[in-house]
Amino acid sequence: MRRKLVAGNWKMNGSLSLVNAFCERFQAANFGAEVLLIPPYLYIPAFQSKKTDTIQLGVQNLSSFSEGAYTGEISALMAEEFKVVYSLFGHSERRQLFNETDQVVAEKVVFALSATQIKPILCVGETLEEREAGNAFDVVSKQLKAVLDAVDSKDLGRLVIAYEPVWAIGTGKTATPEQAQEMHAFIRQVVSEYNVAISQEIQLLYGGSVNVANAAGLFQKQDIDGALIGGASLKVNDFFEICNLAN
Ligand code: PGA
């Protein structure tokens, strides 16, 4: 049985008071699902000082380099020192706004996997134009294979994949549970070309306008093992409720 994972991506949002509100709300909580918050780096120590055992912590991006003259970058080795458990890689905002190519994403994932115990959450997903042109599966397959081809097979078991159709991110337009399930089944099949056993265990998250009203329908689908949530992860009660729905 794959355990559900509910991840909140704060993007470049949040504040110390929001960290406090989350820590208070989640303090005595008990979920069947894994709960993960991915705030801006600076808030990681503030979360840790509150010692909320129910919340695991992740970061939104890490460098492909170990250290050196890379102003503004953060190394996976540093994140590991701060007990960061997960990192996003290849979020569509990184791909579109910061020009991250499939190759750059692959280099970052490979470094994190080979040099640390951090679990990468690889984000993939097509744009509206690509879906309407009938290319969604090809686009996702190419994004996936760029990373799967580069990763050492012994590290594959630590990978998580998030399917986030770009047209659903921050738009209020969610993929239907059927559309998401169809792509998740496809992603699992692509992973099976690399390792059949891992394809059955790997957690596949859906992301794109997940909220309290639509989460349960998505979680019911066979190949949807959780969610990567942006907007609704900034509302403490909504995020708490979604974590409950994933039980
Ligand atoms: P959203 O963002 O939930 O606000 O659509 C999801 C994401 O970008 O991870």
What is the residue-level pLDDT of the chain in tens, covering all 247 positions? 899 999 999 999 999 999 999 999 999 899 999 999 999 999 999 999 997 788 999 999 999 999 999 999 999 999 999 999 999 999 999 999 999 999 999 999 999 999 999 999 999 999 999 999 999 999 999 999 999 999 999 999 999 999 999 999 988 888 999 999 999 999 999 999 999 999 999 999 999 999 999 999 999 999 999 999 999 999 999 999 999 999 7
What does the pLDDT read at residue 244? 96
242 lines ligand 1 (CB under 6 A): no
What does the pLDDT read at residue 237? 97
What does the pLDDT read at residue 53? 82
Task: State how far the Cα of 192 lies from the Cα of 169, in Å rounded to an integer.
Answer: 27
* 3-state secondary structure at position 11: coil
- Please report how the helices 177-192 and 136-148 are oriented relative to each other, as an axis angle in degrees rounded to 10: 40
Q: How many CB atoms lie within 10 A of CB 18?
A: 17
What does the pLDDT read at residue 105? 98
What does the pLDDT read at residue 197? 96
* 3-state secondary structure at position 179: helix
Task: State how far the Cα of 160 lies from the Cα of 5, in Å rounded to an integer.
Answer: 10
* 3-state secondary structure at position 93: helix
90 lines ligand 1 (CB under 6 A): no
Backbone φ and ψ for 87, nearest 5 degrees, come out as: -140, 140
Does the pTM surpass 0.95? The reply is yes
Amino acid at 100: E
Strand partners, 207: 228
The catalytic residue positions are 91, 164
Place of tokens 């699992």: 188
Q: Which amino acid residue places its CA nearest to atom 7 of ligand 1?
A: 230
166 closest CA partner among 237, 80, 87, 95 = 95
Which secondary structure element, helix H or strand E, spans residue 5, and what is its range? strand 5-9
| 13 C-alpha to ligand 1 centroid (Å) | 12
210 lines ligand 1 (CB under 6 A): yes
Q: What is residue 68's DSSP assignment?
A: S
Q: Which two tokens stand for residue 224?
A: 């949807």
Task: State how far the Cα of 166 lies from the Cα of 92, in Å rounded to an integer.
Answer: 7
| Probe target for ligand 1 pocket from 97, 166, 209, 233, with the most ligand atoms within 8 Å of CB | 209
> 31: which residues sit within 8 A by CB, 6+ positions away?
6, 54, 243, 244, 246, 247
170 lines ligand 1 (CB under 6 A): yes
| 2 C-alpha to ligand 1 centroid (Å) | 23
What does the pLDDT read at residue 7? 98
